[in-house]
A and B are shown apart, each in its own frame.
Chain A
């Protein structure tokens, strides 16, 4: 999770400790469509995965991102 948080924190320019499962464009003021593209691009690059358009559209919050990554076989360490 920490690696995911690092990626999101850098793109969204917010503190890592403010990121949780419920973090979404609805509660982060500067999470816009541009950031959405950057997040998909960075996640694919860092975790070596490929998302489908359906997966991208289905993501509404950080919990959904984690679920999408797990479906791609990415193991996220929840403890860090």
Chain B
């Protein structure tokens, strides 16, 4: 995928950027290996069945890492420097579920070339994770 190279002036308040991603068991295991987070709720099938969720769930931070993809590959893309990201984990995501990653441009700070994005992970119309990102755009 070609990395977009949006200019600050091309981004408007209210603009929406959206992509879909399936979070597979392989993704979960890969994330566990990279981070060292082998919490059984994520990787142990028997433990997951006995849990309050009745199944293993995807690491919240794995799903939230898709906000990095949103910023780096959709808006603004090549010129972005990720400054901040808040996160609220509102509901669990299970193996092999598809989610939509949505970014809505809330504000633009012209003087410092910073955009504020409302960031959401959405499953079947329900917000599973949300937060706010601030991204600086460089030349």
Contacts and interface: CB of A to CB of B under 8 A. Distances in A.
Interface of A: 34, 37-38, 40-41, 44-45, 50-53, 55-56
B110 interface: yes
A44 B84 contact: no
B134 A44 contact: no
B111 A40 contact: yes
B116 A37 contact: no
Given A34-B83, A37-B83, A38-B84, A52 B116 contact: no
Interface of B: 83-84, 107, 109-112, 114, 116, 134, 136
A53 B111 CA distance: 4
Contacts of A55: 111
A52 B134 CA distance: 19
Given A51-B111, A56-B111, A45 B116 contact: yes
Nearest to A50: B110
Nearest to A57: B111
A45 B115 CA distance: 11
B51 to A, nearest CB: 36
A44 B109 CA distance: 7
A51 B113 CA distance: 11
Contacts of B84: 38
B126 to A, nearest CB: 27
Given A41-B114, A41-B116, 20 more contacts: A37-B83, A37-B114, A38-B84, A40-B111, A40-B112, A40-B114, A41-B107, A41-B112, A44-B107, A45-B107, A45-B116, A50-B109, A51-B109, A51-B110, A51-B111, A52-B111, A53-B110, A53-B111, A55-B111, A56-B111
